[in-house]
Amino acid sequence: MNEYSLKYGCNPNQKPARIFMAGGKDLPVEILNGRPGYINFLDALNAWQLVKEITEATGEVAATSFKHVSPTSAAIGKPLSDKLKKACFVDDIEGLDNSPVACAYARARGTDRMSSFGDFIALSTECDETTAKIIAREVSDGIIAPSYSTKALEILRAKRKGNYNIIKIDASYRPDPIERKQVFGITFEQGRNEFKIDENLLTNIVSRNKRLPEDKKKDIIIALITLKYTQSNSVCFAFDGQAIGVGAGQQSRIHCTRLAANKADLWNLRQSDKVLSLKFAEGIGRPDKNNIIDLYLSDADYPELLQSWQKYFAARPEPFTREEKDAYLNTVSGITLASDAFFPFADNIERAAKSGVLYVVEPGGSVRDDLVIEAADKYGMVMAFTGMRLFHH
């Protein structure tokens, strides 16, 4: 098959739409179910590259949750703690500990559930039954993977009244080294970004603190590869084998950092005892629980919000004050921060410090590098310069 017609392009008025291979070559993808759209395929193909590179760089299976051509998170298949299982809404999934790929997707989906609502999923290895069971009960547009177990395919094909988008990709496919796209009728051409991200990038440590543990190197690699497929400008926070906050597509880098830091803070607060002990009313679904938790963790007026929340809870929740949240976040440390381009001002480091960042990686090259390094040293951070920008558009 060298062509698939699509329902429409980015918007319903943009017809006709298709994907195809020039020169009559066969496509490296096969639609096993559903009818993916233009944006679905943009998400799928970018997401696949991300998880494939993470697996190649770390030797671990990987998963990502994509929305509008940027990842909400990416993760490797590390087992989840009991608290993290509950925070990710997968504490009732049998066999989770025995499925690294299910652990990877549970982490990726659970990081920023609001942004992952209606996601496109990529797995670096075969989708198994446990992973399919997690996906089956989430609001999702589709999945791309190199293969599917018989049972997983049966579960996924039943999703969305039989219309769930399932794509199989040839894991051995390698694209041409030159890529092209059209904008306003004009063809752009460039060499593919084949820059390899691995531990060799982390030798230029410019901070006074030069202690970089092996597990933090893995977090840095995951963060950098995530940025490689995130719409720029972008900043990524990572911890324990997963991206925990992605700030994508902002014109100002400090806005990227603030957005990613706020998401990382929410991820950490969701694992607090106050959140994990919330008692929801019978029949409240995961999307509603997720939205209510976000409201609960906001700084909105608690008594006023409680009036509209009452129907969601089996027991009245205790307020989580700003002081209590700040105290909890002050216990967080060891977070990694990566940036797709240099930090032009030290304000990014100041904001990162408030979210427990101890490891920073960026290209370097700003005229204010000395001020940024000075800020990192003030907080005892480890800072590495890679010398390589990772813009993605």
Active-site residues: which are they?
A: 67-68, 233, 393
Query: H or E element: which one contains 220?
Result: helix 214-228
User: Residue 189 is which amino acid?
Assistant: E
Query: Maximum CA pair distance of the chain?
Result: 64
Q: Please, which residues have CB within 8 angstroms of residue 25's CB and are 6 or more apart in sequence?
A: 2
The span from the CA of 152 to the CA of 219, in Å, is 29
Query: H or E element: which one contains 153?
Result: helix 150-157
* Residue 266 CB neighbour total at 10 angstroms: 20
Handedness of CA 193, 197, 200, 206 (dihedral sign): positive
Burial, 262: exposed, middle or buried (Cβ in 10 Å; 0-12, 13-18, 19+)? Answer: middle
Our CA angle for 78, 81, 83, nearest 5°, is 140
Q: C-alpha distances in angstroms, 17 versus 8, 77, 104, 207? A: 5, 36, 33, 50
DSSP character string of 245-301: EEEES-SSHHHHHHHHHHHHHHHHHTTSHHHHT--BPTT--HHHHHHHHHHHHS-S-
Phi, psi of 358 (to 5 degrees): -125, -15
Look up tokens 């998401």; give the residue. 263
DSSP character string of 321-384: -HHHHHHHHTT---EEEEESS--SSTHHHHHHHTTTEEEEEE----TTHHHHHHHHHHTT-EEE
Q: If you count them, how many residues does the chain have? A: 393
| C-beta of residue 339 within 8 angstroms of C-beta of residue 362 | yes
The span from the CA of 362 to the CA of 336, in Å, is 11
